[in-house]
Structure 1
Amino acid sequence: MNRVDVAYSLIVDENEENILMVKNIKHNNWSPPGGGVEKGETLLEAAIRETKEETGLDIELGNIVSINEAFMEQENFHAIFFTFKAKVIGGEIEINDRETIEEVRWMSIAEAESWMPYHQKGIRYLLKQSALYYFEGN
């Protein structure tokens, strides 16, 4: 299996009641904005780039709130998913990556959780979690 790292941005509104989600065309599902880390790119750079491509928004990333792992046998991937807490600092909602993203919208935490059952303790639990992330350079 090929290893792939994926960086997600868990973007919450000011009241921490809604999560920004994107509808993925390939899998016909909803997820936080995010995607594969490209060669020479840090996790932070990937999360910021993917969010801009998928939503048109500029974000500021906080700490990691979860790390998930999966064997995706159909794609022959061993995937590690890094999810950062994030907040919007600019831009307007606009899909720049129309090949992979069908829709962007804010949804309630309860609805977002229904699309993310792999976070077994729920999104509100994630929002209270924090693991520091540092890029240590070359």
Structure 2
Amino acid sequence: MNPLHNEVLTKFGNQLRVRVCGLCRQQDQLLMVRHRGLSETNTFWSPPGGGVRFGETSAQALIREFSEETGLVIDVGELLFVNEFIAPPLHAVELFFRVTITGGKQQLGTDPELEADNQLIDEMKFMSFEEIKHYLPQEVHSIFQQCQSLNDLFRLRGYLN
């Protein structure tokens, strides 16, 4: 088994996680981060975000996660939708918020739960919807199967799975 994949399963598997994710749009592009090690073979593109810590609000968690992953400072806007991700042994309830950049410097960050030489995030960039949809469904977050455009993504509401 891939060592990073094994570490991901050990740290995040077999538990229910609450995650926050930020949809950060600039013109016709969305900020995305690419993770490796979430499966044996694939990398995975997703909006920035991560787990909520005990005693932390969702907004505080999203501000922290954005800073850790992207170097950016954000304002957290409205809650757009909730997505439930179940792919045993991973299970997460994900809260998706609209976010706006207010400062910081865009730079590839780290995941403090993992060792420095075994990081999940290996790329970050703004991507057009067409570029996102160019990837195979298993290579991008499942929310992109729920919409046909970037505008559609920001119109999603309610509970998705």
TM-score scaled by length of structure 1:
0.81
**1:104 and 2:131 are equivalent in the alignment:** no
**1:33 and 2:33 are equivalent in the alignment:** no
Q: Which runs of 4+ in 1 moved over 4 A?
A: none
In 2, distance between residues paired with 1:130 and 1:2? 26
Q: What are the superposed Cα offsets for residues 34-86 of structure 1, whole Å, 9 maximum, x if unpaired?
A: 011111111111111111100000111111112011223123x3x10111011
Structure whose residues are more often helix by fraction: 2
Indicate conservation of the 8 Å contact 2:77/2:97, yes or no: yes
In 2, distance between residues paired with 1:42 and 1:118? 23
Indicate conservation of the 8 Å contact 1:63/1:130, yes or no: no
Q: CA deviation at 1:110?
A: 2.4
Shift of the 43–29 alpha-carbon distance from structure 1 to 2, 3 Å rule, reads: same
Deviating more after overlay: 122-131 vs 95-104: 122-131
Gaps of 5+ in 2: 1-13, 111-115
TM-score scaled by length of structure 2:
0.70
Matches within 5 A, 1:94-133: 94-97=107-110, 99-113=119-133, 114=135, 115-119=140-144, 120-122=146-148, 123-128=150-155
Identity of aligned residues (%): 31
Count of matched residue pairs: 127
Gaps of 5+ in 1: 132-138
In 1, distance between residues paired with 2:95 and 2:128? 22
